[in-house]
Structure 1
């Protein structure tokens, strides 16, 4: 991550914004931690870039949900169930759901589209989304930044290494499970 920032400079912030347009918690945490450890990343610039990227990404999903509605959702495998879950949360918790859906695993990617499917006005979603994106950006930048202070540089390197190993193991297990499901023959 530090090499990425050293090589790309200010363009790395644009990369962070683009990454957060789609997702980005892990990237933001790692970028912030690398910034604290190396001094190459300004946490304020990073926060504003990922705030903008996250805000714009969810605005797009809201607009797609509003424009294409349920028929688009039905074409994406597994999305109907997650959208139904998100709509249930939206109905039950309202504004609190919009302000927190970025932190809820499993519905984060479809929550903005679900809001577009609801009766929520564009202006209301935009205002809530702007606040929520800022809270999300500040939370993950701060978490990465202060994790280094808490763990120390050496502890941070060990933690990042452990996260990398865990990610590789997770992907390998998922690949093996996927292969086994494909090779199972039902008679």
Structure 2
């Protein structure tokens, strides 16, 4: 399979990266992560420009998420009905709804890379539940940057062992390497938000 993916990237370059990332964000089963690994390997060999590959994959992913958000905003009343047709869809829909209810836009951020299989559903539910577009767009763009940079960087770093890396990446849910890269950032972000809420809570429980 790796050889076939290499062939696609060799023939179409950044266009196949952008298209695969776009479609994978719309519940279409395309191995975009493996294509990005191949793209990173081509960057390492000098056959593909690194900045172009990153920008193309990131733009495709963001546009795919924006399309999902717009779909949820337009067809929100039918989304739950669509999810109920299959138990797997219903489970992801429920998880996406819970994620947004508990975490809000931060849930959008983590769904793009740490819980990638949940991402397309989070996008649609975000649109359906009325999350503001600006908040969605900012957190989504940041999360997709981690997802894209993680995969392409891994393909670049392990270009000579891409078969092994692609097998590992395809066997796990989400992307653990990208999770490790961004774990410190995510932890610091959550800590900062909790610290920001703390003064407000102390005011609420002050003397009466």
Same fold, TM-score > 0.5, yes or no: yes
Whether the aligned pair in 2 keeps the contact of 1:32 and 1:142 (CA below 8 Å) is: yes
CA distance in 1, matches of 2:103, 2:123: 15
Give the direction of change, closer, same or farther, for the CA distance of 1:75–1:45 in structure 2 (3 Å limit).
same
Structure 1 counterpart SS, 2:130: coil
Structure 1 range deviating more: 40-49 or 100-109: 100-109
Whether the aligned pair in 1 keeps the contact of 2:6 and 2:35 (CA below 8 Å) is: no
What is the match of residue 16 of structure 1?
17
Q: Which of residues 126, 133, 136 is equivalent to 1:115?
A: 126
CA distance in 1, matches of 2:140, 2:36: 18
CA distance in 1, matches of 2:72, 2:124: 4
Instruction: Indicate yes or no: 2:57 matched with 1:50.
Output: yes
CA distance in 1, matches of 2:151, 2:106: 19
Q: Which of residues 55, 64, 68 is equivalent to 1:61?
A: 68
Q: Deviations over 1:108-151 (max 9, x none)?
A: 23110011122311122122222222222112211221233xxx
What is the match of residue 98 of structure 1?
108
Normalized against structure 1, the TM-score is what?
0.72
CA distance in 2, matches of 1:33, 1:57: 24
How do residues 115-154 of structure 1 correspond to structure 2 at under 5 angstroms? 115-148=126-159, 153=160
Q: Deviation at 1:105?
A: 4.6
CA RMSD, 1 decimal = 2.4
CA distance in 2, matches of 1:124, 1:108: 16
